[in-house]
Amino acid sequence: MPPTFAEQPRGALVVGGAKGIGRAIAHALAARGDDVVVADVVGTAAAACVRELRAEGPSVRSVERDVTDVARVRATLAAGAEAVGEAVDWLLANFGKDVRAASAGAVPFLKLMGVVAGGWQMARAALVAEQRLAAGAGDKPFYEAKIATARFFGDYLLTQAVSRIYLDNLPHIGSSWVTQGKKIGQVALGFGADDLGSVMIEENVGSAAGTTNRTSAAEPGHLIRSIGKIPGQPDTP
């Protein structure tokens, strides 16, 4: 039986892949034959991880990415736009040759397009805000918030979306209203997550870092319904 689309080798971007869970995911993807790009804020650590992966995967490379650096946001945006262009070229070139492969490829392409388009809009706003701040014009707190929003998109929401596209062997991906707040928890449900989380009797990790968010037993269901989705409750303890 030929491999399914999900089983075929693909390209995988692992953000924060130089250590911890990200490193383990990068190793697993390389071992199954995917082309892996390890992105991390510490370029030397990413390069060290790639040296390990070369024994497992056919094609691995590293990139240094820091979402607090606006110049790197600009470069990443350009790379994303280039990836969309390459995807369009592949679909057009292969649709007449293998319509089933092109149709299967159209699904991740549409997801990629949505992620890049969203990132383009936020990155563009951040770059304009940077120019206004450099010129000393306008509302400084407003422009600083624009830049912070773009950074957060790259660091959290983009990672959620990429995880949903590539980790298709995982049935569920959670967002975190506890650490990110209820509004971001809602937004993340549109970026690949399908689990808003639950109510906790006690929480010590986020609160120790100065983050405190609270909810009731009924509110998560309301948050899910308010964005047009249907809430469900697991039957596991």
Residue type, 116: V
Quick one: 1-65 is in which CATH superfamily?
A: NAD(P)-binding Rossmann-like Domain (3.40.50.720)
H or E stretch including 14?
strand 11-15
Q: Quick one: average pLDDT of 201-212?
A: 73
pLDDT, one tens digit per residue, over 64-91 is 666 556 676 677 667 767 777 787 787 7
Per-domain residue ranges for the chain? 1-65, 68-170, 177-225
Residue 153 has pLDDT above 50, yes or no: yes
Burial 188-209 (b: 16+ CB within 10 A, else e): bbbbbbebbbeeeeeeeeeeee
**Please, which pLDDT band fits residue 49 given cuts at 50, 70 and 90?**
confident
229 has pLDDT over 70: yes
Residue that wins the pLDDT comparison between 194 and 121: 194
pLDDT at 160 over 50: yes
**Res. 101: pLDDT tops 50:** yes
> Is the pLDDT at 25 greater than 60, yes or no?
yes
Stretch (H or E) spanning 98: none
pLDDT-derived band at 4, boundaries 50, 70, 90: very low
| pLDDT surpassing 60 at residue 121 | yes
Residue 1: the pLDDT is 37
pLDDT band at 150 (very low <50, low <70, confident <90, very high): confident
**pTM of the predicted protein model:** 0.47
What pLDDT, on a 0 to 100 scale, did the predictor assign at position 116?
A: 67
For strands 60-64 and 11-15, give the pairing.
unpaired
